[in-house]
Amino acid sequence: MENRKTERLPVKLPIFYALKEGDPWIGPVPLADIGGGGLMFNSDKSILKDTILQLKIDLPDGQGPLIFKGVVTWGRASSSTSWNIGTRFHKMKHRDRQRYLAFMCENILNLYLTDEGKVATA
């Protein structure tokens, strides 16, 4: 059963993560999808549920990377050497949250609106 409160959007951006604040960044690893409250990325490591991660995403807005904390909500093997890692946002600065949501809104518009500004139909 899905517990998400917002839709997830497929986005192809690199993401970096660290298991603890101050640890070296791991990545880039593929970002699979994003939502208003979390994201999913692919890793070559399994990460335990409830682990608090440092996350870093370079949005294409030219303002530098977003660095924030996320909590692992689930992990699932996608192959013998790869895991899908689901996270929810734990701590994000207000300005970073605004940048992130602006990026999401732009992707929603690109996904659902035609060039003429009409809602795309499936």
Question: All domains of the chain, ordered by start, with CATH?
Answer: 9-112 (2.40.10.220)
Label residue 57 by pLDDT band (50, 70, 90).
Answer: very high
Residue with tokens 């809104």: 105
Label residue 121 by pLDDT band (50, 70, 90).
Answer: low
The token pair at 115 is 């060039």
52 in Cβ contact with 89 (< 8 Å): no
pTM: 0.81
Examine the pLDDT at 2 and tell me if it is beyond 60: no
Q: Which of 9-18, 41-50, 52-61, 108-117 has the lowest mean pLDDT?
A: 108-117
Residue with tokens 């603890």: 20
